């Protein structure tokens, strides 16, 4: 059942004081770095711009971002499945803006597996990567760098810490996909502390397939989220 996955994640560059609920409201955000990891890679492949003295640049240029898009496109054409956690609603949206390759990013986004979006379409609410990793007894996100601190760390020259952070994100995403498909279910730790589950009888769905799932009953929620929150940029 397990596909030839390539896990993908970005870290943004723009420094925004404090924590915000809608990061995309502050765009353009820029991309500090990204990471990709396939089933056969020995370790994550890291993506970032470079200064004249070959140190990591403050943010990826449009050409740098386009190179990443081209890599993902070539990989998808070679029978690999791009894999993310919230890549539809965030990573591909930002990458489209930064690379200028909007149509190609839309194609990639619709054809890839975004596990969080699949969960959302099935249940009517999203869950966090850390909660899912803990539920599956896997290591989650790196605790060294909180995500909202990554842009400041990058700007301060603590690039190794941020690269370690994004590397762990793609490792956790890839391991989670394999483990849950092998068990044919996803387990996660709910806010209540209880373990919840979602069956994966046919494995993870691509975004296109997940969008065709019937809308779940969300009448019990005070303010249910709409799928358009993730798909509107398409």
Q: What angle do CA 210, 213, 214 make, to 5 degrees?
A: 150
Q: Is 143 a residue whose pLDDT tops 70? A: no
Rounded percentage of the chain residues whose pLDDT exceeds 70: 97
pLDDT interval class at 10 (50, 70, 90): very high
Cβ-count burial 19-49 (b if 16+ within 10 Å, e if not): eeeebeeeeebbbbbbbbbbeeeeebbbbbb
Domain boundaries, the chain: 5-214
pLDDT at site 144: 62
pLDDT at site 147: 67
pLDDT at site 20: 81
pLDDT at site 149: 87
Task: Name the strand (E) or helix (H) holding 173.
Answer: helix 159-183
User: Which structure tokens are listed for 111?
Assistant: 């054809």
**CATH number of the domain located at residue range(s) 5-214 in this protein:** 3.30.420.10
This prediction has a pTM of 0.95
Q: Is 124 a residue whose pLDDT tops 90? A: yes
- Note the pLDDT tens digit of each residue in 56-77: 999 999 999 999 999 999 999 9
* Interval 153-163 mean pLDDT: 95
pLDDT at site 142: 66
Number of H helices, E strands in the chain: 9, 7
DSSP 50: B
Rounded percentage of the chain residues whose pLDDT exceeds 90: 89
Cβ-count burial 91-122 (b if 16+ within 10 Å, e if not): bbbbbbbbbebbebbeebbbebbbbbbbbbbb
Of all residues in the chain, what percent are helix, strand and coil, respectively (each to 5)? Answer: 45, 15, 40
Which of 66-80, 132-146, 198-212 has the lowest average pLDDT? 132-146
Average pLDDT, the chain: 94
């Amino acid at each position: 059942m397990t596909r030839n996955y390539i896990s993908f994640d970005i870290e943004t560059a723009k420094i925004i004081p404090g924590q915000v609920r809608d990061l995309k409201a502050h765009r353009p955000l820029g991309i500090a770095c990204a990471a990709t990891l396939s089933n056969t890679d020995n370790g994550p492949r890291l993506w970032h711009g470079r200064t004249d003295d070959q140190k990591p640049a403050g943010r990826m240029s449009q050409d740098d971002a386009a190179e990443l898009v081209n890599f993902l496109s070539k990989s998808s054409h070679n029978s690999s499945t791009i894999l993310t956690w919230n890549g539809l609603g965030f990573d591909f949206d930002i990458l489209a803006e930064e690379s200028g390759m909007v149509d190609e990013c839309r194609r990639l986004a619709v054809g890839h597996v975004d596990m969080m979006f699949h969960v959302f379409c099935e249940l009517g609410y999203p869950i966090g990567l850390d909660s899912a990793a803990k539920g599956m007894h896997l290591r989650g996100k790196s605790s060294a760098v909180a995500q909202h601190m990554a842009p400041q760390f990058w700007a301060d020259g603590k690039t190794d810490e941020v690269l370690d952070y994004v590397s762990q994100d793609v490792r956790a995403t890839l391991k989670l996909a394999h483990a849950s498909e092998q068990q044919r279910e996803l387990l996660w730790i709910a806010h209540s502390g209880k373990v919840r589950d979602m069956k994966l009888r046919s494995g993870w769905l691509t975004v296109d397939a997940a969008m065709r799932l019937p809308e779940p009953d969300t009448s019990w929620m005070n303010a249910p989220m709409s799928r358009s929150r993730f798909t509107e940029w398409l």
